[in-house]
Chain A
Amino acid sequence: MTDLLNVENLTVRFEVKRGGAFGKKAHLYAVDDVSFTVKAGETLAIVGESGSGKTTAALAVARLQAAYAGRIELDGEDILPMEGEALRQVRQKVQFIFQDPYSSLNPRKRAEAIVQEPLDSLSDKPAAEKAEIVKGLFEAVGLRPEQMRLFPHQFSGGQRQRIGIARALATQPELIICDEPVSALDVAVQAQILNLLRKLQKDFGLTYLFISHDLGVVQHMSDSIAVMYMGKVVEHARRMDLFSNPRHPYTQALLSAVPTVDRAKRAAQKRILIPGDPPDPVNLPKGCRFANRCPVAQDKCRQDEPALLDDGKGHRVACHFS
């Protein structure tokens, strides 16, 4: 299968002021030299905890956040330098599903207008055709036609997320970026949305970039996974490889930290606790960013930053001792 999305050396940095208005300017590298690929029709999940840069990376791919350096290739074309009409074309192909179904819908617009907005801004289709598309989308995401005239606050959280999904589908995009699409929902509703996303992927041949902190959800949704820590990808592998054979100590700790109902798994596994807190992102230490919390760190880790290396079978790890 071909790569639909190929991100190379993506870097996003923010200016931060230290010490008041006249303080020295410093840079926070939220996403630091990150590369990953997504195959057409597949799902790549980016997992990480808060502050890992996963959402920033997603926003940069969607051109909603300015990137500092790197390439973002969609269908072999770098979309990072695009502006104007070219960017409009790209926006049709890349759409976004947001985390919070309560703040991601404009409260002053009716549901049908929200779903139609991308069509209004991005396509030149006649009004009747647009209305027809919107109607079809409501059906595709499991909403009823009589709900099209309602306002967002008249829907439950799960229904709102369905509207958000319908909006993302409106321009028939190739790539949909899902930023924690279920983390704000109740558990029973999560299943409805996850099933819907998988069904839509099958029906429309969609490619997902799926951002999540929930390894259980990631395990269910993804074909490959990139684990991020402090702005870096530390491990990037196919689903089965990563879950059955995690090689980076951070991935191992992350996996072992997830509570599970499976008694056999709980009994078999010793929980790896990683003490302490991540380092200051503005003043990063030399060497591996995980070294100060890593159970297997050696002197070398505090000197040299490990590169993300392929083991020859597509399992990439950034660790000196993997």
Chain B
Amino acid sequence: MAPLLTVENLRIELTTRDGVAPVIDDLSLNLNAGETLSFVGESGCGKSMTALALMGLLPEKVGRVAAGKIIFDGEDLTQASPQRLREIRGNDISMIFQEPMTSLNPVFSVGEQIAEAIRAHQNLSRKAAWDKAVELLDAVRIPNPKGRAVDYPFQMSGGQRQRAMIAMALACEPKLLIADEPTTALDVTVQAQIFDLLTDLQKQSGAAIILITHDMGAVAEMARDVIVMYAGRKAEYGPVDAIIEHPRHPYTQGLISCVPHIVSDMSEERPDLVEVPGIVPSLKDFGRDECLFASRCAHRTEQCLAERPPEKPFAGGQLADCWHAEEL
């Protein structure tokens, strides 16, 4: 079976005041229906830009696909017309955002907005669309969905708004759901509910999910595969379990060990956290022919500064872009 989504050597360029910067540089991936892929990395690493590119929503005039293909369901989205992209958005690919308050329209009730989303893509009567909206609110576990459908966004809690957003994203039974930091603005107990909900919905509908996050814990809970992004490039790509077990890229190692996790064997003494010194380079340094992580890396050698590291394959389909991946 061909994967639902294939990205081949994608390069996205952003025009800035300092010139053209590749915010996504030579990215390839495969995603099958019913599976979850996660993008992880610090802010400014190109995670969200990938999502926008998949949606055909790159900022006009500023961003463009410079090379590569995005093949979704057998169709290359980089060649599709704006008309066709609009059709695909909402019908086949949906997105949920970090801040549900700003992505819902405050002057319409939640039910109306979901019904509107349904009617924009499906030929249903007003009444039928409303009934389906109530059904969807029920599916995302909003108690008393009939009564809550007439509520306005401000009358709902953050978790309920995010669930309403998910209901809206699911309105047209998308094949691919892109979730951009869907739980960052929410409390952990609510995050647990949302993750639980997403997993269940995925099982029922067979949709593929792309989860964009900065939290390795969330990746471990939710995803099968993970792409660690750094400065617009893939640092490491492969099955989550293998990568957490043995990260081959120093940035992945840093991301995992710099966060204090709750572990099963907690001890009285707490050693210092592993630091990843410095910060993500600025856009104008993207695209250089060197390892962009080198300035923050403890394993840096001459070679890292001389040439961009190649992709090195490891057992289980793990890929790491690091000159020293074998030694790590």
Contacts and interface: CB of A to CB of B under 8 A. Distances in A.
Query: Do the two chains touch directly in the complex (Cβ atoms below 8 Å apart)?
Result: yes
A216 B262 contact: yes
Contact of B272 (A50, A198, A244): A198
A23 B80 CA distance: 56
A273 interface: yes
B196 to A, nearest CB: 6
Contact of A259 (B158, B221, B258, B264): B221
Given A49-B187, A220-B270, A188 B254 contact: yes
A309 to B, nearest CB: 24
Contact of B263 (A156, A240, A262): A262
B268 A275 contact: no
B189 interface: yes
B306 interface: no
Contacts of B276: 188, 191
Contacts of B187: 49-50, 213
A258 B190 CA distance: 10
A195 to B, nearest CB: 5
A273 B193 contact: yes
B99 interface: no
B218 A259 contact: yes
B244 A271 contact: no
Nearest to B159: A277
Contacts of A253: 189
A257 B272 CA distance: 25
A219 interface: yes
B218 A254 contact: no
Given A220-B270, A259-B215, A187 B258 contact: yes
Contacts of B141: 275
B191 interface: yes
Given A49-B189, A188-B254, A263 B244 contact: yes
B160 interface: yes
A240 B268 contact: yes
Interface in A247-265: 253-265
Chain A, interface SS category? helix
Given A254-B188, A254-B189, A158 B264 contact: no
B42 A261 contact: no
B114 interface: no
A220 B158 CA distance: 28
A106 interface: no
Interface string A193-218: 01100100000000000000101110
B260 A220 contact: yes
Contacts of B195: 259
B255 A276 contact: no
A266 interface: yes
A102 interface: no
A189 B258 CA distance: 9
B261 interface: yes
A151 interface: no
A186 interface: yes
B264 A265 contact: yes
Interface in B282-315: none
B259 interface: yes
Given A187-B214, A244-B266, A259-B218, A216 B261 contact: yes
A213 B190 CA distance: 12
Nearest to B188: A257
A223 to B, nearest CB: 10
A181 B290 CA distance: 34
Contacts of B157: 277
A265 B196 contact: no
B220 A216 contact: no
Contacts of A221: 260
Interface string B191-206: 1110110000000000
A187 B196 contact: no
A192 interface: yes
B212 to A, nearest CB: 14
B275 A195 contact: yes
A274 interface: yes
Contacts of B266: 219, 240, 243-244
Interface string B214-230: 11111011100000000
A57 B290 CA distance: 49
A268 interface: yes
Given A158-B279, A191-B274, A216-B261, A273 B196 contact: yes
Contact of A257 (B43, B160, B192, B277): B192
B273 A262 contact: no
Interface string B242-256: 001000000000111
Given A254-B189, A268-B264, A273-B196, A188 B255 contact: yes
A186 B189 contact: no
A271 B196 contact: yes
Chain A to chain B: the 6 pairs with minimum beta-carbon distance, closest first: A259-B217, A220-B260, A191-B258, A49-B187, A257-B192, A188-B276
Interface of B: 42-43, 141, 143, 157-160, 187-193, 195-196, 214-218, 220-222, 241, 244, 254-256, 258-264, 266, 268, 270, 272-277, 279-280
12 contacts: A49-B188, A188-B254, A188-B255, A190-B259, A191-B258, A255-B262, A259-B191, A259-B195, A259-B222, A260-B217, A260-B220, A273-B189
